[in-house]
Amino acid sequence: MSKPNVGTSKPSKSTASTPGARLPKGFQDTSAEDIRATSLMLARIRQVYERYGFEPLETPAIEYTDALGKFLPDQDRPNAGVFSFQDEDEQWMSLRYDLTAPLARYVAENFERLPKPFRRYAVGPVWRNEKPGPGRFRQFMQFDADTVGTDNIAADAEICMLAADTLEALGIKRGDYAIKVNNRKVLDGVLASIGIDPASDADAAKRLTVLRAVDKLDRLGPEGVGMLLGRGRKDESGDFTPGAGLPPEATDTVLRFLAAGSQGIGRTLAAIEPLVAGSDVGRAGVAELAAMERLIAAAGYEDRVAVDASIVRGLEYYTGPVYEAQLTFQVQNEAGQIVRFGSVGGGGRYDGLVERFLGTKVPATGFSIGVSRLQAALAALGRTGSEAGAGPVVVLVMEKDRVADYQKMTQTLRSAGIRAEMYLGTAGMKAQMKYADKRGAPCVVIQGGDERNSPDGPMVQIKDLIEGAKAAASIKDSREWREGRPAQVSVKEDELVAKVREVLARHKG
């Protein structure tokens, strides 16, 4: 994976005419290898989404800020939490925070002509104007699937099945992941029991603070969440995050709810039910989860999808079921520490986003994959499909007055569907071989005067760099190298394509 740039960035020395070459904090450059691995991963995700009947949609990276939703922090500046600017009409515009708010705007604009339910998938970068940290970037890619226009709980159950099928299509084995489900109505019932009215604007800020605190359970544990529910918490950097200000008994109630965890079909709901017994909205949430359990079990996904009280999701706009895709396997990082990737995607029901534009209820539900985090997990498993990133065959330029001949040779390879390039520098053979190594070339093509004027007709030398590297490890001196000429063969020029294909086939996969 590309080396992340998430720490403190010090300006490099520069003159007035020479700016410092600095990558902005919280952003990263992406290498060719990572781009190819991502493309392969996205293609596999797309196949699953298409199989479920979702259609592609692309929306702009920029939206009017007021279209992004009330889940953004309530600040005087509209660009808190997002990257924003004013256009020539002094209207605030922002880089999209996610792919869901733009979908809501699109549905509202095209509501009359769209089929209901409307099912779409979308992939692209999103931006957060937040403090970067390890594994936390200001720009990252998401891949979403959403169903808009139905309140049928079967749509939520189907999204969970989609998430499971997607992870398995990417090579993550059953048992190495879990799709966990909860319901915002259930949590609202718990909040109502401690005096926070989920429907009151006066309690909205406190409710959101509680939701975001609970969403950090996996990272901070019960103790850290307890601090955020109470007075607040100071992190490792010394930054202090104000808490929700709940009294100890209210904090204890929320933590008891989270402790219900995931106990299996029926048992988790039995543990949650007493905590929301006095709340109509809480009981409605329990009933929806019970219906989802039945649908998931009937489809044979009960070993992959389960109710878990600790799942809440941090965004304000969720109104019903919420879900999270978590990886459960452990790997060793570069420092030798055992780590777990945890959440690589999530989503939920958001019945109010389109309503903001139209004034009428338009129910919706969806799921979003964090592409970069999931790709990092696949890399840890060795399942990125990196074989797609093999370098090109390099045709060396042995005689500078014969560039046209070498270019023709290169085009012959390309016309046969082989990735190839002619060396375009001006250096000698040794430097050209180093260049081919750096490019990850599987082989090079060599034709000097001896090969061109061979008694048997024009010949070419094909040097297998992969096999050559293996052979070089066992060769003791330069004489043995010259005599053996490891992994290097001479063929007639008209056999070039066939022989190169042989080399590529030998190293495929």
In the chain, the amino acid numbered 284 is A
CATH number at residue 212: 3.30.930.10
Q: How many C-beta atoms surround the C-beta of residue 204 within 10 A?
A: 16
Is the same domain home to 394 and 378?
no
Strand bridging mode 443-446 / 393-395: parallel
Q: Print the SS3 string covering 121-133.
A: EEEEEEECECCCE
Is the same domain home to 401 and 339?
no
Residue 344 has a pLDDT of: 92
Residue 259 lies in a domain: yes
Is the same domain home to 208 and 337?
yes
> Virtual CA dihedral for 491, 496, 501, 507, nearest 10 degrees?
60
Three-state SS for 508? coil
51: Cβ contacts below 8 Å, ≥ 6 apart? 165
Q: What is the pLDDT of residues 216-250, one digit of tens each?
A: 887 888 889 899 998 889 888 888 888 888 999 88
Is the same domain home to 185 and 200?
yes
Residue 1 has a pLDDT of: 46
Q: Is the pLDDT of residue 356 over 80?
A: yes
Residue 34 lies in a domain: yes
Residue 100 lies in a domain: yes
Percent of the chain with pLDDT over 70: 88
| Bridge partners, residue 366, by sequence | 146, 348
Is the same domain home to 302 and 335?
yes
pLDDT category of residue 137 using cuts at 50, 70 and 90 = confident
Q: Is the pLDDT of residue 292 over 70?
A: yes
End residue of a domain, out of 350, 377, 399? 350
pLDDT category of residue 334 using cuts at 50, 70 and 90 = low
127-136, 293-302, 449-458: which range is least confident on average? Answer: 127-136
Residue 221 lies in a domain: yes
Residue 14 has a pLDDT of: 53
> Virtual CA dihedral for 172, 174, 176, 177, nearest 10 degrees?
90
In the chain, the amino acid numbered 254 is V
pLDDT category of residue 471 using cuts at 50, 70 and 90 = low
Question: What does the mean pLDDT of the chain come to?
Answer: 86
Residue with tokens 């209207």, as numbered in its chain: 91
- CB distance 368 to 158 below 8 Å: no
Residue 481 has a pLDDT of: 46
Is the same domain home to 199 and 323?
yes
Q: Is the pLDDT of residue 76 over 50?
A: no
- CB distance 156 to 321 below 8 Å: yes
Is the same domain home to 316 and 175?
yes
Residue 71 has a pLDDT of: 46
Residue 313 lies in a domain: yes
Residue 317 has a pLDDT of: 82
Is the same domain home to 95 and 142?
yes
Residue 83 lies in a domain: yes
CATH number at residue 473: 3.40.50.800
- CB distance 250 to 228 below 8 Å: no
Helical spans, DSSP H, in 350-493: 355-358, 371-381, 403-415, 429-438, 449-452, 465-472, 478-484
Taking the C-alpha atoms of residue 253 and residue 249, their distance in angstroms, rounded to an integer, is 6
Q: Is the pLDDT of residue 404 over 60?
A: yes
| Bridge partners, residue 136, by sequence | 133
Residue 356 lies in a domain: no
Mean pLDDT of 28-39: 88
Q: Domain residues for 30?
A: 26-151+364-386
Q: Is the pTM higher than 0.85? A: no
Tokens of 138: 């200001």
Decide which of 292 and 477 is more confident. Answer: 292
Mean pLDDT of 268-273: 89
Preceding amide of 117 cis, omega within 30 = yes
Tokens of 375: 């790709």
Is the same domain home to 128 and 200?
no
Mean pLDDT of 317-344: 83
End residue of a domain, out of 326, 350, 374? 350
Instruction: For CA atoms 221, 227, 230, 232, give the dihedral sign.
Output: negative
117: Cβ contacts below 8 Å, ≥ 6 apart? 147, 148, 149, 150, 155
Mean pLDDT of 116-138: 89
Residue 466 lies in a domain: yes
261 — phi, psi (to 5°)? 55, -140
Q: Print the SS3 string covering 189-216.
A: HHHHHCCCCCCCHHHHHHHHHHHHHHCC
Tokens of 246: 């709940």
Residue 234 has a pLDDT of: 86
Is the same domain home to 395 and 431?
yes
Is the same domain home to 325 and 438?
no
pLDDT category of residue 414 using cuts at 50, 70 and 90 = very high
Residue 139 has a pLDDT of: 93
DSSP per residue over 297-360, as a string?
HHTT-TTTEEE-TT---S-TT--SEEEEEEEEEEEE-TTS-EEEEEEEEEEEE-SSTTHHHHSS
Residue 77 has a pLDDT of: 45
Give the chain's domain count: 3
**What DSSP element (H or E) covers 120?**
strand 118-127
Is the same domain home to 194 and 213?
yes
